Structure 1
Amino acid sequence: MNLVVDWLNSVLWSTPVIYFILAVGLLFTVLTRFLQVRHIKEMVVLMFQGKSSKEGVSSFQALSIALSGRVGTGNIAGTATAIAFGGPGAIFWMWTIAFIGAGSAFIESTLAQIYKVNQDGQYRGGPAYYIEKGIGWKWFAIIFAFSAILAMSLLMPGIQSDSIAAGLDNAFGVEKWVTGLLLIVLIGIIIFGGVKRIATVAQYVVPFMALAYIFVAVIIISMNISQLPEVFMLIVKSAFALESAFGGMLGLAVMWGVKRGVFSNEAGQGTGPHAAAAAEVSHPAKQGLVQAFSVYIDTLFICSATAFMILITGMYNTKAADDSYIVNNLPGVEPGAGYTQAAIESVMPGFGSGFVAIALFFFAFTTIMAYYYMAETNIAYLTRGKDPKIAMFILKVVLLGATFLGAIRESGLVWDLGDVGLGLMVWLNLIAILMLAKPALAALKDYEAQKKQGLDPVFDPEKLGIKNADYWTNEYKQKNKDNVS
């Protein structure tokens, strides 16, 4: 089993693939003329505009669902793992993939809005939908849908529950099987309540926990503020093999930084578009910009908070390619949340382990919740025109089972399986959004033109020559006519 998983990861996350992800993000950054800088104010403003409807959720709720998926174990344990195997320089490459990845996030989320549908009384969309409607390759859309269901329901929930269980065990001595049972009860209550309940929980839990985590990080950094410039230079120098201690780790720094960066912020992965499609907006570019900003929140804020806490306190280990230690400040501590716990404990004794365990619980809990929503959307895609009740019930059982097993299973295998799931989705989605960049770029140009005229942009795909955007050409137009009359 381990050999097969290792082989899959060696293919899915080979060096050419890492650079391909960077190249795609850079391409979209250039094609959108650095929208992640030009429209940063607009992103924040749009985040709080719009209201939910009977069919959809508000922009902020859609952002919260997407952030539920993005803000999770990757922010705490994943960042620590990047430092352990890629050195401090991996953090620079996490920042890089976040910055340029915001361009990919805009493209995929805008596409999700362009090609969304009103299915069974609620908005649905995402890669499977835009692949079929935009490219016309139903077979490719089906492959993505199956891959997403496999990843979101079976391969990736275990990473989140494993980190929760390890954190609670380390901090409070809670048996892992007890944590597993608690998780499936709580998650079961939410996912059986549908997307509206998921959105409601996400919009309150995610912002509260993110702000609390960043607040603690600011305290830790402030108490060691004199070391901050030195740590920042360590990150930058190590990223380009200019720091003697980490001179031989350039390739590992890039690989682990990109891999853990993509795992954390999910830009280009194809997860964010599912939530983006659910938003009630007047123009696809609006939600595209909001989802692009979610990448910043995830990596530039929360992952950076973790990285600075770990590096500024020196609470980490880093292994070289030959398994020897370059840094071994925490002997016997496995790469992961333990580094973050030790960092906070070193400054706030008696507080760090418990706080990180609670933060992990909420971050990872909401991520599993988001995984369910994404898997459900792909089940909905595959069962269009049929009764999805049995398939949806099986999905719930599989996800809850994977969550429980992840809490009690060996950590290394859990992470490796998650990397396989992530790699499958990234490959398929990047190919799709490269082929479909034109309509997303046309939507951005149209949005900017209307803003220059002082208008609140409204989307008309026929005017832009975009085909198969059926919701906008039929239902949205009719809705506007009804509102006018």
Structure 2
Amino acid sequence: MFEQIIAFINQLLWGDGQLLIYILLFAGAWFTFKLRAIQLSGFKHMFSLARHSTSADSNGISSFQALCTGLSARVGTGNLAGVAMAISLGGSGAVFWMWVIALLGMATGFAESVLGQLYKVKDNRKEFRGGPAYYIRAGLGKTWLAVLFSLCLFLGYGASFSAMQANTIAEALNNTFAVPTYLSGAVIAVIAGMIVLGGLKRIARFAELIVPWMGATFILTALIISAVNITQLPGLISDIVLSAFGLTEASAGALGAAIKSGIQRGMYSNEAGAGSVPHAAAGAAPNPNHPVVQGYIQMLGVFVDTIVLCSCTAVIVLLAGVGGSGEMAGISVTQQAMAVHFGEFGDDFIAVAITLFAFTSVVANYAYAESNLHFFKLDNKVGRLSYTCMYLAMVMWGANASLQQVWNLADMSLGLMTLVNVYAIVLLTPTIISLTHDYLNKKQQGENLSFRTGDVVIQGETAPDIWD
């Protein structure tokens, strides 16, 4: 009965009902309109803020570390397998619709990250914590809804998602290098445990060191492949755009599939609206010290994840001439593409890339769920130790398990998180708009950009001593 209930909910959210697609499209369009296309008007400014985002105070991580932590969770197997899956089901036109949903998602990511910053609190370590549960309770006064979100978060990011990522790593290493899955699981658990026991700051430092190099290496690989095949690029880009609207012979009957698969895989990849990234955003002490700054920084994260990294995978796959079969295929398509470009080395490269991408997600998933321990007054030694043991046990189990049931459970958790979060941020739109206007007005008039309690009228109340 429990499995049937999960299957029914997932069918409604992700299956034929496609409820989440419509909800996230609405959210992206809503905030794009309400914030006057801030992802376009503020495009240059978000890069300017990112260049000065490495400083922080003793209470929080830097904005750059928060960006890298958010990217740690976003940049996972979806960037390698998800894009290939979209192309296999919807053809090259699916890539265009991934770009569209990413542009809309940038506005949603901005909105939820601003709220994560505004309503953050200090835990018993005097470090910043926050996320949807916090702004639902503090901004809307709906404690029951905040508890529901937190439970879904623990079920998803605290357990299921980490098990899935560990399984992906173990399978990749076993298939390519014949490493036993039990050994992979043990090594993953030990290394992850060494990182996460240091708390959010150690996780952020790990992300700051690994994510930029990991992303840069993958981008460089795509640039090398593009340079070798540069004469094919104009035709490739033309095919992506024309196929997106069913204007090529090959895509004439696949317009619906291109739109559906492109939008769905883009949503899975960048997580905008799911309520996950606000946990990383809340942990930051931004420079300048204004909630809107973290909105810009995390908006950049959506751009890097989908517009940049997913496009790299698309270029690698499409230039190799694989995919587009009309049947669901994932990482195998990306591996085939890399083998076309680099021979046997391509398989090894993708195996290593999967390991790094998935492992950073494992670590960031811990941070997201751990942020909600304070919400339940469990941010103490016993609470953290209990949660960490459960988390590492799920990692070990996931590396050696068949995870179809866990996938279903995780999909349901993510779907319910998204429903609750989008509902909350839409209700909190007046606060998001007020904060954005405050920041832009101060910027235009050359005033101190720092935010203080009382600068604008907000819904609910912020925690004491955060913005005073």
TM range (shorter): over 0.9
User: Residues 4 and 409 (structure 1 numbering): CA distance in 2 closer, same or farther, change over 3 Å?
Assistant: farther
Flag the 1:265–1:177 CA change in 2: closer, same or farther, 3 A: same
C-alpha distance in 2, partners of 1:240/1:155?
37
- Alpha carbon RMSD of aligned pairs, Å? 2.0
* Distance (whole Å) between structure 2 residues aligned to residue 411 and residue 154 of structure 1: 12
TM-score (structure 1 length as normaliser): 0.90
Match for 1:110 among 114, 126, 129? Answer: 114
Q: Confirm or deny: 8 A CA contact 1:167 1:353 kept in the other structure.
A: no
Q: CA deviation at 1:75?
A: 0.7
Give the conservation status (yes or no) of the 8 Å contact 1:162–1:414.
no
Q: 1:183 matched to which residue of 2? A: 188
The code of the aligned residue for 2:376 comes to L
- Cα–Cα, structure 1 residues 244 and 379, in superposed 2: closer, same or farther, change >3 Å? farther
Question: How high is the TM-score relative to the length of structure 2?
Answer: 0.93
Q: Pick from 37, 42, 51: which aligns with 2:45?
A: 42
Question: Where does residue 126 of structure 1 map in the other structure?
Answer: 131
SS at match of 1:470: coil
**Counterparts of 2:413 and 2:235, CA distance in 1:** 37
Q: String of CA shifts for 1:181-237, please: whole Å, max 9, x gaps.
A: 211111111111111110110001000000001100111122222222232233223
Q: Percent identity?
A: 39
Matched, 1:70 2:74: yes
The answer to whether the Cα contact below 8 Å between 2:35 and 2:433 also exists between their aligned partners in 1 is: yes
Distance 2:133 2:387 in 1: 17
Q: State how 1:44-59 maps to structure 2 within 5 Å.
A: 44-50=47-53, 51-59=55-63
Question: Which residue number in structure 2 is paired with residue 322 of structure 1?
Answer: none
2:355 matched to 1:361?
yes
Alpha-carbon deviation of 1:26?
1.1
Is 1:460–2:452 an aligned residue pair?
yes
Match of 2:465 among 467, 474, 481: 474
Bigger mean CA deviation after superposition, 428-437 or 251-260: 251-260
Matches within 5 A, 1:418-457: 418-457=410-449
Verify the 8 A CA contact 1:79 1:306 in the aligned structure 2: yes
| Shift of residue 413, structure 1, vs aligned partner | 4.9
Counterpart in the other structure of 1:201:
206
1:245 counterpart SS class: coil
Q: Given that residues 155 and 410 in structure 2 are in contact (C-alpha distance below 8 angstroms), is that contact kept between their aligned partners in structure 1?
A: no
Deviation at 1:468, TM superposition (A): 4.1
Structure 2 counterpart of 1:47, one-letter code: A
Q: Of residues 395, 399, 403 in structure 1, which corresponds to 2:395?
A: 403
- Decide which moves more: 94-103 or 157-166: 157-166
Distance 1:242 1:162 in 2: 40
Asked if residue 306 in structure 1 is aligned to residue 297 in structure 2, the reply is no
Q: Are the aligned partners of 2:313 and 2:334 in contact in 1 as well (CA < 8 Å)?
A: yes
Q: Distance in 2 between matches of 1:412 and 1:242?
A: 37
Question: What is the distance in 2 between the residues matched to 1:93 and 1:405?
Answer: 36
Amino acid at match of 2:329: P
Matches within 5 A, 1:331-410: 335-383=329-377, 388-410=380-402
In 2, the alpha carbon distance for the partners of 1:255 and 1:188 equals 38
Letter in 2 for 1:114: L
Comparing 241-250 with 356-365, which one deviates more in the overlay? 241-250
The correspondence for 1:273, drawn from 270, 278, 283, is 278
Does residue 82 of the first structure (1) align with residue 86 of the second (2)?
yes
- Whichever residue aligns with residue 418 of structure 1, its letter is A
Cα distance in structure 2, aligned partners of 1:395 and 1:59: 26
- Partner of 1:247, secondary structure, is coil
What is the alpha-carbon distance in structure 1 between the residues aligned to residue 300 and residue 247 of structure 2?
Answer: 31
Higher mean C-alpha deviation, range 369-378 or range 259-268:
259-268
How many residues are treated as equivalent by the alignment? 461
Report the alpha carbon displacement of residue 2 of structure 1 after superposing the two structures with TM.
6.5
The equivalent residue for 2:259 is 254
Moved more, 432-441 or 410-419: 410-419
Paired with 1:256 and 1:382, the residues of 2 have a C-alpha distance of 38
Deviation at 1:54, TM superposition (A): 1.7
Which residue of 1 is the match for residue 35 of structure 2? 32
